Amino acid sequence: MGEKLNIKNTASEKKDFSFKAYAWKQFKKNKSAIFSFYILVFLVFIAISAHFVANDQPLYAKYRGNSYYPAFETYFSPTKTDSTINPETGNWEKLQFDITDWKQLKLESVVWAPIPYSPSKPDRFNREYVSPNALQYYKNPDGKRVQAPTKFRHHMGTDAIGRDVLSGLIHGTKISLTVGIISMGIAALIGIFLGAIAGFYGDTNLVWSRFRYYLTILGVVLGFFYGFIARNIAISEGFNESIGSGLLQLAISLIVFIGVAVLLNYIGKVKAPGFLGKSKKIPIDSIISRGIEILNSMPRLLLIITISAIMKERSLIMLMVIIGITSWTGIARFTRAEFLKIRELEYLQAAKALGYSSNRTIFKHALPNGLAPVFVSIAFGIASAILIESGLSFLGIGVPDDAVTWGSLLSLGRQQFEAWWLVMYPGAAIFITITVYNLIGEGLRDALDPKLKQ
């Protein structure tokens, strides 16, 4: 009786087992990983709220009887304007929130942001590399130059033109995390798709007629020609006009490329006579694997620098795209290895026996069960992308000159070796963020390791 009860309990435990809950439980046991996760949550919060944490515009201000919310209003409308009557002259005074020097106005009441400075606006009273511990000055609403009170001090110093370093670090957090997440999102889409196809079909499971195979190759070549080479001028002119126009032209080229390739592949399904009608095994795994090896043989940083240097207009969007399309090989390899393992499991064999299409089998059954190692690769990839962006910013390549990033702040330290705060604080931010992602990746690898599952 006792043995039957134990068997029932064991069966109940197996039935109620949730791998997601188990993985989270295992992840929480890794103290360094869970601590890093909390730090990452804090960094994400700082990145999302950067506009309200570090801004020279007040969160709330009452001026001449009117209440304003400059930081909130410029978040949705950067050039927000309003008007008020000057009681001394009776004339209307125009206030453009983003360029108004709110510190010089005699405000009746005010609530400043925790860091009352914007990253790109200089403080002319604290120029020439003011140290965090040095004497700092501030011009009060009466026009007098006085010693800066605590709330208006530059707690991490300034650069050559008086820009606040702490404000730059806070807004740089948003840029670094955005670059890491979006670039690896692009890399994940490419890597998962190609890795899944390579691992699922291998070199023998994808069988087409020779006619369809040759037409598909022709479609890829023609699609690339008409989508990118023939439209090269349109793409260049688009990026010269604006980033949005350039991305639109790039999207059109991508649609043309995919459309031509898919169209010729569909035409290739027609039965062809003779030699063209014979079946052929497509070595899709070898093709993708050789492509991965070719891309890996090129120095990635040098490749990114070369592509970035070709672009006439530097932008963070293009930098994210470039990093993404050059960083997918590791994800593709992980996905391919996982699919090579799970394609022989019973539930996929059952899907084939039931006559499910390959697309349904790949994306509905195999992919959800083969993504665990990919998450680990993505975590490490985000850290790598942040490091690449910081390196390019340090070299002055790939990012616009007006963008304040951790790498650009670090680069300012080369111009003045005595300004230690321009090296220490951005360097510490880069080190902490990369370490956090790496520790999270280690924790995910341990938590998702199926060998630990009992």
What HEC string does 272-287 produce?
A: CCHHHHCEEECCHHHH
Question: 387 and 430 in contact (C-beta within 8 Å)?
Answer: yes
Same domain, 146 and 267: no
Q: Residue 86: inside a domain, yes or no?
A: yes
Last residue within a domain, chosen from 128, 148, 163: 163
Q: Residue 8: inside a domain, yes or no?
A: no
pLDDT of residue 310: 67
Same domain, 340 and 426: yes
Q: Residue 10: inside a domain, yes or no?
A: no
Residue 94 DSSP code: E
Domain encompassing residue 249 = 207-281
Same domain, 189 and 231: no
Report how far residue 41's alpha carbon sits from residue 297's, in angstroms, rounded to the nearest whole number: 36
Place of tokens 């006085």: 146
| CA separation, residue 363 to residues 72, 200, 324, 348 (Å) | 43, 11, 22, 12
Q: Residue 84: inside a domain, yes or no?
A: yes
pLDDT of residue 321: 81
Same domain, 453 and 438: yes
Give the containing element (helix H, strand E) for 165: helix 165-201
| CA separation, residue 329 to residues 9, 26, 433 (Å) | 45, 28, 23
Give the pair of three-digit tokens for residue 217.
């190759």
Question: 203 and 286 in contact (C-beta within 8 Å)?
Answer: yes
Same domain, 169 and 290: yes
Please compute, for residue 280, the number of CA atoms within 13 A of its CA located in the half-sphere on the CB side.
14
Report how far residue 387's alpha carbon sits from residue 184's, in angstroms, rounded to the nearest whole number: 13
**Parts of the chain with a pLDDT under 70:** 1-19, 236, 239-240, 242-244, 308-314, 398, 449-454
Backbone angles phi, psi at 373, to 5 degrees: -65, -25
Q: Residue 7: inside a domain, yes or no?
A: no
Tally of domains in the chain = 3
pLDDT of residue 23: 76
DSSP 3-state percent helix, strand, coil across the chain (nearest 5): 65, 10, 30
Backbone angles phi, psi at 169, to 5 degrees: -65, -40
Same domain, 348 and 439: yes
Report how far residue 295's alpha carbon sits from residue 235's, in angstroms, rounded to the nearest whole number: 24
Report how far residue 28's alpha carbon sits from residue 62's, in angstroms, rounded to the nearest whole number: 47
Q: Residue 12: inside a domain, yes or no?
A: no
Which residues are registered as beta bridge partners of 94?
Answer: 83
pLDDT of residue 35: 93
Listed residue (377, 372, 378, 400) closest to 312, CA to CA: 400
Give the pair of three-digit tokens for residue 442.
């280690």
Same domain, 268 and 397: no
Report how far residue 261's alpha carbon sits from residue 268's, in angstroms, rounded to the nearest whole number: 11
Q: Residue 13: inside a domain, yes or no?
A: no
Same domain, 49 and 68: no
Question: 119 and 171 in contact (C-beta within 8 Å)?
Answer: yes
429: domain CATH number is: 1.10.3720.10
Last residue within a domain, chosen from 242, 265, 281: 281
Question: 375 and 392 in contact (C-beta within 8 Å)?
Answer: no
Same domain, 412 and 310: yes
Question: 125 and 144 in contact (C-beta within 8 Å)?
Answer: no
Q: Residue 6: inside a domain, yes or no?
A: no
Same domain, 194 and 75: no
Same domain, 307 and 445: yes
Same domain, 317 and 403: yes
Residue 136 DSSP code: -
Residue 312 DSSP code: S
Last residue within a domain, chosen from 281, 300, 330: 281
pLDDT of residue 317: 76
pLDDT of residue 242: 64
- State the DSSP string of 375-393: HHHHHHHHHHHHHHHHHHH
